[in-house]
Amino acid sequence: MQERAKATRRSLLEAAAQLFAEQGYAATSVNDMSARSGRTSGAVYFHYAGKEGIAVAVVQDRFATWSQLAARYADEAVPPVERLIALSYDIAHALAEDPVTRAGARLWAERATINAPLPDPFALWTAAATRLLAQARLAGHLYAHVRPARTARTLVRAFFGLCALTEALEGTAVVTSRLTDWWQLTLPSLRPQPVCDDLPTDR
């Protein structure tokens, strides 16, 4: 029974995420979620207390994704700045391809029209970036004046803006290549090495 409830919750969340990503919050109804998932409207109210509740859960689920992504970059054998760079490409990929991540980003952009407080989707990512930069600093891989928390805050906002605007203006196909342009414009300020020539240009 608990397994069945979990499966229902997941199927509702994924149906809602697809709809939010495709048509936005305002245009998506509980009936749409029921039709897309093959579950009843009552199940949406029972498991998520309605449309606002499932929107918050979608954004929270995206959090979880980012946290799991960050955990995959705990390998101490790889230099921390390289792990930060690899993580950024994975998040950019999720923002371009993963329905729940895409729905989370769209809901966050439409947050003014949602009658429920959404969790801050950037706090955990900033924390992960701060940790990696602090490790890099300790290892002597950064310029001495680069401060991890402040730099992580700046990087996360610029990174997210770059991904969001690139998708809006040019579509998702070029996000990897534009992210490489951005790292080439950012890395020389972080560390003494010259421009990186081995960053990806597509995937």
Sites of contact with its own copies (CB under 8 A): 24, 26-27, 106, 109-110, 112-113, 120, 122, 145, 150-151, 153-162, 164-166, 169, 178, 181-182, 184-190, 195
Nearest to 175 by CA among 115, 107, 119, 105: 105
Nearest to 16 by CA among 44, 47, 49: 44
Judged on CB neighbours under 10 Å (0-12, 13-18, 19+), 115 is exposed
3-state secondary structure of 50: coil
Rank residues 48 and 159 by Cβ distance to its own copies and give the closer one: 159
- Return the structure tokens found at 135: 């490790």
Residue keyed to tokens 């597509």: 202
Cα 10 to Cα 27: distance, rounded to the nearest angstrom: 21
Rank residues 9 and 178 by Cβ distance to its own copies and give the closer one: 178
Cα 30 to Cα 9: distance, rounded to the nearest angstrom: 14
Judged on CB neighbours under 10 Å (0-12, 13-18, 19+), 173 is exposed
Type of residue at 164: A
Rank residues 50 and 188 by Cβ distance to its own copies and give the closer one: 188
**Closest separation in Å from C-beta 148 to its own copies:** 12
**Closest separation in Å from C-beta 42 to its own copies:** 28
**Closest separation in Å from C-beta 158 to its own copies:** 4
Q: Please answer whether residues 43 and 60 qualify as being in contact, where contact means their C-beta atoms are separated by less than 8 angstroms.
A: no
Rank residues 135 and 151 by Cβ distance to its own copies and give the closer one: 151
Rank residues 33 and 142 by Cβ distance to its own copies and give the closer one: 142
Rank residues 12 and 190 by Cβ distance to its own copies and give the closer one: 190
